[in-house]
Structures are given as structure tokens and as C-alpha cells.
Structure 1
Amino acid sequence: METEKHCLACNKKLEGRPDKKFCDPYCKSAWHYQKTKEGAAGFYAKVDRQLKTNRRILKSFNKAGKATVRADILKQHGFDPNYFTHYWKNSKKEVYLFVYEFGFLTRYENGKKKYVLVTWQNYMEKTT
């Protein structure tokens, strides 16, 4: 005796292969989209989203190629300095953290945390 199977997305009766789960590609896509939307974001998606956010923020605050911005201002816009793609150390042994082509260096001036924002330059290719 066979059990009746139904589409996971629309609950329509399924016909055909015994392992079939969806009635058509639209239902399959809709079900997976809803499942992803409801579930917690995976680690990769979370990191990727934050990297994109960080890059957008650094780009918007660094129009001239170099700028200094208070850390709390960037944080208000969603910046998280724990997410970066690579780093570069200058001759003074200062470490710039980069989010793709936009970098930042942590500084403390007058008791306030600030970031010196820079854009990647060709001379940075060489390691120091």
C-alpha cells in the first residue's frame, strides 16, 4: 500500500517518482527561499554581510584617500572592526586592517578612539 505524498511548498498531491518532494521548480525554489529566510543566517552569510557593510562605510567616509574619523561615528553606522580581509604593516610597525581596498588604523587622540582611513596603494604590495 502506497502512502500519498504532497508538495512541501503548496501541499498539492505529488505524482511520479517516489522520492519527489515538490510539484514544480517554482515550489522548490519558494520552499528553499522561505526556509533560508526563516532560519538563522549561516556563519559565511553573516561574515560576508558584515564585510560588505564595513566596506561601504569605509568607502563613504574616505572620499579623498585618507581621513580620520571617530570610532563611535563608524560604529553608529554599523561598522565592526573585527571583520576585515587582510592587513598591512608599515615601516613604523603600525598595522592597518583592510576590508578589500579600504583600510583603517586605530589611533587614540585626546582620549578618544579614532580610525585613520586609507585606500590601498600599489607600494603596499611589498611586505615590510
Structure 2
Amino acid sequence: MRFFKNCVFCEKKLVGRTDKKFCDPQCKSAYQYKKSKEIPERFYNRVDNQLKLNRKILKEYNKGGKVIVRANMLIEEGFNSNFFTHYWKNSKNDIYLFVYEYGFLKKEEKYILIKWQDYMQKKIPLG
């Protein structure tokens, strides 16, 4: 006996196994894609996407190694200073936040942008 029901995606009649849900791999793929778009973006993806955007913006504005930029220029591009990968404190106790190799420090309505340098790596004495 054949069992008939409809494809979950395109609603064509299904022929075959009783547990079959899709008429072909394309319908299955299209259904999974549609379903994934309905689910809110996962936290990891939101963080990763913002870090990538921040890095892109910092890289774009910091062509010279050290630059001062108005904060609103970065924010208008989508920059969010709450997303960073690590930090570095200089000898003046200023704390630069970094997005990978690009750093920033907010001073009033401006950002000081820098690029990671080898001397910023802390040396841990052995012994």
C-alpha cells in the first residue's frame, strides 16, 4: 500500500515511505533555509558579525598607524565599542581596547586609533 501526504515545503503529494517529509533534496534544503531565517540570530553570530564590522571600520579609518577620528563617524558606520577582543594599558594608564590588531581609545567625542605593535606584548619572566 502506498502512503500519500504532502511535501512540507511545496505541498506536492508524496509517494513512498511513510515517514517521508519532502519530495526532493531541493525542497528539503529550501525548507531548512527558510526555517533558519525565521530563528533569531544566535548570540555567537551577532558577536562575531559585530567584531568583523568593527575591525573593518577601524582598518578603514586607520591607514597611518595612529589616527584621531570623530566618534560619530565610526558610530554612523555601525561601530560598537562594546565589542572588542582584548585590551592593552600603556605607561600613562590609558586602556586601549582592541578588535584583533586594531585598537581604539575614546577621548571625549573622539577615538584615538592605533594598530597592535610587538612591544605591546607583555613579557612574562620565566623562573
Q: TM-score, structure 1 length as denominator?
A: 0.82
Runs in 1 of length 4+ with deviation above 6 angstroms? none
Find the counterpart in structure 1 of residue 28 from structure 2: 28
- Cα 1:77–1:52 change in 2 (3 A) is same
Q: Output aligned runs, 1:36-51, within 5 Å.
A: 36-51=36-51
Count of residues paired in the alignment? 124
Higher mean displacement: 87-96 or 76-85: 87-96
**Among 88, 112, 115, the residue aligned to 1:119:** 115
CA contact (8 A) 2:3 2:15 kept: no
* Structure 1 unmatched runs, 5+: none
Matches of 1:3 and 1:93, distance apart in 2: 73
For the aligned residues, what is the CA RMSD?
A: 2.3
What SS class does the counterpart of residue 115 from structure 1 fall into? strand
Find the counterpart in structure 2 of residue 71 from structure 1: 71
CA contact (8 A) 1:89 1:127 kept: no
Rg (Cα) greater in structure: 2
How much identity, in percent, do the aligned residues show?
Answer: 59
